[in-house]
Amino acid sequence: MTVPFGTSFTIVQRRLLLFSAHLILAAFSNWLAFLLRFDEDIPAQQWDLFASLLPLLLTLRGLSFYPFRLYDGLWRYTGLWDVRDLALSIALSTAAFAAIVRWGAGLTAYPSSVFVIDALLLFCLLTGLRVAPRLIREAGWIGTGLKRVLIIGAGDAGAMIVREMRNNPSYGYRPIGFIDDDPRKAGHRIHGVKVWGGRDSLSHVITQKGPDAVLVAMPSAPLGTIRSIVKVLEPFHLPIQTLPNLRDLLQCRVEIDQIRDLSIEDLLERAPVDLDPEPLRRLIQGERILITGAGGSIGSELCRQVAKLSPASLICLDRAENGLFTVVNELIAGGHGFVIPRIGDITDVGQMNRLFAEYRPTLVFHAAAHKHVPLMEANPCEAVLNNVGGTRVVAEAAHRHEADRFIFVSTDKAVNPVSVMGASKGVAELLLQELGRSSKTIFASVRFGNVLGSNGSVIPLFLQQIKAGGPVTITDPRMRRYFMLIGEAVHLLLHAARLARGGELFVLEMGEQISVVDMARNLIRLAGFVPDEDIALTYLGSRPGEKLVEELVGRHETVETTSVEKVLAVCQDRTGVPAHLSDLIMQLEEAAAEGSMSKVVAILCDIVPTYHPRTVPLVQEEMGGAQGMRSKEGLTPPADAVTLVGVLRADPPERG
């Protein structure tokens, strides 16, 4: 590479200047060594020795400086390696000088102590020359407006990030202290920054030191630790930042530009995403994949992950064009030319049969569903037509056209359901198990809870309310839910698909249930506000069809581990399954097609004995209009009911 003359001259000029400075300090340290040796009264004979041998000493010093390139380093990055090179250079030149003076010239009058004093002084002077600018900069003597950061975690990550902050003040951070629970570190300093104590002293340190932000530098800390830190910081108006997780840190060293705001995802139990991808590639590569509900939250993420595994074709089916348009454009822009977008209705028998006949999918992921619980409580017939009828239509088409596998995306709301949506999903699970008994196609269901970022998720709603200044609305303070990151849920869903052998019901281990109130308070806290002070929380009461606590496994179900961590197989007691399931499902779909809401709920109760509806839809008689509203037989609606009857029933026992 050609270097411009001006640039080359500047580099040479800098090197000559630094080389001269080194030699000047070498001469000064030698004179100072004589001065110290003779208590500031140097005899004339020693002056003659100093003057006569100084050119030799400077020559040797210069020769030793050259191979170690002491004038080339950037002093802002001075570290132990630079100090080591400096020490070696001085030691070699001192040894050579002493050998020439003593054994070469035989000058025994030259004081031995001067060799040592001179070497030590020169080492201190040259080290100081390098370190002084860095100390000035890192001490904050230059630059203003730096953000004062309190760092939680005095481990390797914390130490590295402090060093980076001090090396790069232009990033605008100034570390003011560490918090660490290790009592052996308390009171000590790391890169000049004091460890103030453990988490129990966090509130006191914040009050005393007044940081502008808190950085959690604990990439491998347990989830409970992170949550407890957020809890302690709740009363303070401080942004909380963090570093990448441990898996990311293994890829590269910690740098300041890796600092990011702590997010709600950091407070969730995370599933392992480092499972071996090869089994998934063997499942998908070269296959014709159909994904229904491709424009939805789960469906679109399925499309993304499947596309990376090189299928022969990827048929993306959805009834709504907007979501499908977005994900298909994203995949095509990413170079996935095998994507086939199709607008269609899963309840249309003819359309589904034509689609299967044309594209012959070998693997089907059925993610299309109506999932909004309160809406489905108000529209139970539509819930059944789509979630039960649509699933049956697509499954029968897969059976008829001999697809290899059919994987149904189910929900935790199907367990001991109290909502029409949950009950309809439970019926679909039973339907697929029944169909799989006589089919060459492998049918399996995968059940999991809420995923962050999904359409209709509570998290985006909370964020909108926080942005608007509140209040954040919560149905019930006792509400608890399972949450998982959408990418990790889909990753495990794919692993469950490869485990399927026919008739299985899998469930994803979702970690611990999280209080929705805690979730809301954490979101407010992460946005830099104080809950109940800056942003109010209000409680509206449970919505139709909601349970306080969801479940992943029913009362008559047990789970077994599989070869994939976090994917469990559900063993069901089929004694409660109706003998004439197919007839009941036919009656259910007929009632839904007729718009008979009360009949739909009654048949759902017959098919799913654990279904305990919390709200019972009123049925508008054909000719009765508003006056013809009546409740399901045996259940009396309140006098002020208009479209839905809130029926207070004893809650069935629920497990967390």
Nearest to 409 by CA among 428, 389, 423: 428
Q: pLDDT at residue 629 above 70? A: no
Mean pLDDT score across all residues of the chain: 81
- Name the residue with higher pLDDT: 187 or 145: 187
Name the pLDDT band for 10 (thresholds 50, 70, 90): low
Q: What is each CA distance from 82 to 68, 87, 88, 191, 444, in whole angstroms? A: 9, 9, 10, 17, 63
Q: pLDDT at residue 371 above 70? A: yes
Q: pLDDT at residue 370 above 90? A: yes
From the candidates 185, 371, 413, 599, give the one annotated as an active-site residue: 413
Of 534, 559, 576, the domain-final residue: 576
pTM over the 0.85 mark = no
Has residue 328 been placed in a domain?
Answer: yes
Predicted pLDDT at 244? 61
- Name the residue with higher pLDDT: 274 or 275: 275
For residue 553, what is the DSSP state?
Answer: S
Of 576, 610, 645, the domain-final residue: 576
Predicted pLDDT at 104? 83
Range of the domain at 238: 147-262
Predicted pLDDT at 576? 63
Name the pLDDT band for 245 (thresholds 50, 70, 90): low
Asked if 430 and 540 sit in the same domain, the reply is yes
Has residue 590 been placed in a domain?
Answer: no
Q: pLDDT at residue 251 above 50? A: no
The residue count of the chain comes to 656
Alpha helices in 308-457 (DSSP H): 321-333, 349-359, 373-378, 380-384, 391-400, 420-436
Q: Are strands 514-515 and 480-481 parallel, antiparallel or unpaired?
A: antiparallel
**What does the pLDDT average to over 146-156?**
86
C-alpha span between 89 and 102 (Å, rounded): 20
**What does the pLDDT average to over 583-597?**
94
Has residue 109 been placed in a domain?
Answer: yes
Q: pLDDT at residue 481 above 90? A: no
Predicted pLDDT at 41? 85
Asked if 133 and 221 sit in the same domain, the reply is no
C-alpha span between 518 and 437 (Å, rounded): 44
- Name the residue with higher pLDDT: 263 or 202: 202
Q: pLDDT at residue 2 above 80? A: no
Q: pLDDT at residue 72 above 70? A: no
Structural domain count of the chain: 3
Q: pLDDT at residue 531 above 90? A: no
Asked if 202 and 224 sit in the same domain, the reply is yes
Burial class (CB in 10 A: 0-12, 13-18, 19+), 80: exposed
For residue 600, what is the DSSP state?
Answer: H
- What is the percent of the chain where pLDDT is above 90? 34
Asked if 161 and 237 sit in the same domain, the reply is yes
Predicted pLDDT at 69? 65
> For the chain, how many helices (H) and strands (E)?
21, 26
Asked if 132 and 158 sit in the same domain, the reply is no
Asked if 118 and 151 sit in the same domain, the reply is no
Predicted pLDDT at 553? 83
Asked if 389 and 500 sit in the same domain, the reply is yes
Has residue 656 been placed in a domain?
Answer: no
Asked if 162 and 82 sit in the same domain, the reply is no
Has residue 269 been placed in a domain?
Answer: no
Which residue, chain included where needed, has tokens 């279904």?
611
Asked if 284 and 248 sit in the same domain, the reply is no
Check: CB of residue 161 under 8 Å from CB of residue 215: yes
Asked if 239 and 350 sit in the same domain, the reply is no
Predicted pLDDT at 348? 96
Residue type, 220: S
**What does the pLDDT average to over 30-56?**
88
Predicted pLDDT at 144? 58
Q: pLDDT at residue 327 above 50? A: yes
Has residue 623 been placed in a domain?
Answer: no
Q: Is 286 left (phi over 0), alpha (psi -120 to 50) or beta?
A: left
Point out the least confidently predicted range of 4-13, 47-56, 215-224, 237-246.
4-13
Check: CB of residue 587 under 8 Å from CB of residue 545: no
Q: Which of 29-38, 103-112, 607-616 shows the highest mean pLDDT? A: 29-38
Name the pLDDT band for 619 (thresholds 50, 70, 90): very low
Predicted pLDDT at 422? 93
Name the pLDDT band for 459 (thresholds 50, 70, 90): confident
Asked if 396 and 540 sit in the same domain, the reply is yes
**Is 425 a known active-site residue?**
no
pLDDT digits 0-9 by tens, 409-438: 999 899 999 999 999 999 999 999 988 888
Name the pLDDT band for 639 (thresholds 50, 70, 90): very low
Q: pLDDT at residue 232 above 50? A: yes
pLDDT digits 0-9 by tens, 549-583: 888 888 778 889 999 888 999 987 766 677 788 89
Alpha helices in 414-509 (DSSP H): 420-436, 458-467, 486-499
For residue 480, what is the DSSP state?
Answer: E
**What does the pLDDT average to over 205-218?**
86
Nearest to 140 by CA among 116, 170, 110, 113: 170
Which residue, chain included where needed, has tokens 């169909």?
435
Point out the least confidently predicted range of 28-42, 271-285, 505-519.
271-285
- Name the residue with higher pLDDT: 645 or 253: 253
Name the pLDDT band for 359 (thresholds 50, 70, 90): very high
Predicted pLDDT at 640? 32
Which residue, chain included where needed, has tokens 């946005």?
527
Q: Which CATH number goes with the domain that contains 481?
A: 3.40.50.720
pLDDT digits 0-9 by tens, 483-516: 888 888 899 999 999 999 998 999 988 877 888 8
Of 86, 117, 138, the domain-final residue: 138
Q: pLDDT at residue 253 above 70? A: no
Predicted pLDDT at 229? 84
Point out the least confidently predicted range of 244-258, 536-550, 589-603.
244-258
Has residue 652 been placed in a domain?
Answer: no
* Tokens describing residue 377: 């409580």
Q: pLDDT at residue 228 above 70? A: yes
Predicted pLDDT at 631? 35
C-alpha span between 627 and 614 (Å, rounded): 24
Q: Which of 122-131, 234-243, 560-569 shows the highest mean pLDDT? A: 560-569
Predicted pLDDT at 365? 98
**What does the pLDDT average to over 224-249?**
74
Predicted pLDDT at 620? 41
Asked if 441 and 534 sit in the same domain, the reply is yes
Name the pLDDT band for 247 (thresholds 50, 70, 90): very low
Has residue 629 been placed in a domain?
Answer: no
